[in-house]
Amino acid sequence: MAVSARPIRVAIVDDSATIRKLVALELARHRDIDLVGEAEHPYQARVMIKSINPDVLILDIEMPHMNGLDFLKKIMALRPMPVLMFSSLTRRGAGAALEALSIGAVDCLGKTPTLATDGTLQQIAPLVRMAAGATLAQPRVQNAGAGSGFRNRGRIVLIGSSTGGVDALEQVIGGFPAACPPTLITQHMPAEFLRSFSARLNGMCAPEVRLAEEGAPLREGTVFLAPGGDFHLALDGRATPVCRLDPRDKVSGHRPSVDVLFRSAVPHAGRVVAAILTGMGADGAQGMLELRGAGARTIAQDRDSCTVFGMPRVALENGGAERAVPLQRIAPTLLELCMQPGLQTA
């Protein structure tokens, strides 16, 4: 008889006794997860973490004495571990959540006013399992920048990402020149966070980064981010492609979906260079396979640099991705492929 793996040991740091109780009740339903510690604020948490050494930490962003971001920085510097953040879905909360993901948190869960009844609690156990197996963010390696000789040859860049995508996209788009190829990105994230994320990328990267709008023309130097909420991001199938917001239901378990973006670009595949980055699940793998079959150039982030080697793994296994590329080489590789002339397929 096989010996079962030990349960995942979880600790929570949140100043709300109600939140701690709700999380405890939810995790108690799962035999493979043990809640082994609770703390009201980071000063209590420091002692607790040293004592119990949890596998995963659930950390609130807004707390007294020391906020969650400052504590997260200390954790990642002194005692790195998988951390899931709780954040309000306000503009301020969204900005803090993105900062946490950039610092090294594995994922962030929105703290909604109706947390107890809207299904949010049911997301915690799957996220804990994912975090327990995640690869912690590595120190950033400076991208080899695109030299002044970069010249796009009519290419369009498509990128799909999920868990770990904030840090990955900051590095990839941060490696693009101001006159980058027209770029469309689908990142799995609540719409409230995506608004803040587009503003964050726009402020830290050379190209213009903005949320996609219906009918927006593709142009060099602009990166469009799927707005999420009720819409997928897609390419209109006309000869001159534009952004289209597709209101259909979830596809491959997500809205926005990477598969929707990739499949919508099949008529333009000869011009497309696509990348699939870190993320849980398989969204984008089938769409990438269809893109590659129609003539697109495709790459996937490699295992060692992924926070979660899910979406890229499936894309490599099914043949959708031509090859695996380390994160620090994604931007240079995309730009190199864009300097090769595309084929007009529309």
Q: Determine which one of 87, 88, 161, 162 is catalytic.
A: 162
Helix, strand, or coil here: 199? helix
* Amino acid at residue number 198: S
Q: Determine which one of 246, 259, 283, 302 is catalytic.
A: 283
Q: Determine which one of 41, 188, 232, 268 is catalytic.
A: 188
Strand ranges for the chain from DSSP E: 8-13, 33-39, 56-60, 83-88, 107-111, 156-161, 183-187, 208-211, 222-225, 232-235, 243-246, 272-276, 297-301, 323-325
102 is catalytic: no
| Distance set, CA 133 to CA 78, 123, 310 (Å) | 20, 16, 11
d(CA 246, CA 259): 12
d(CA 210, CA 227): 9
CB 180 within 8 A of CB 209: no
259 is catalytic: no
CB 47 within 8 A of CB 79: no
Return the closest-CA partner of residue 155 out of 218, 242, 225, 232: 218
283 is catalytic: yes
Enzyme catalytic residues: 162, 188, 283
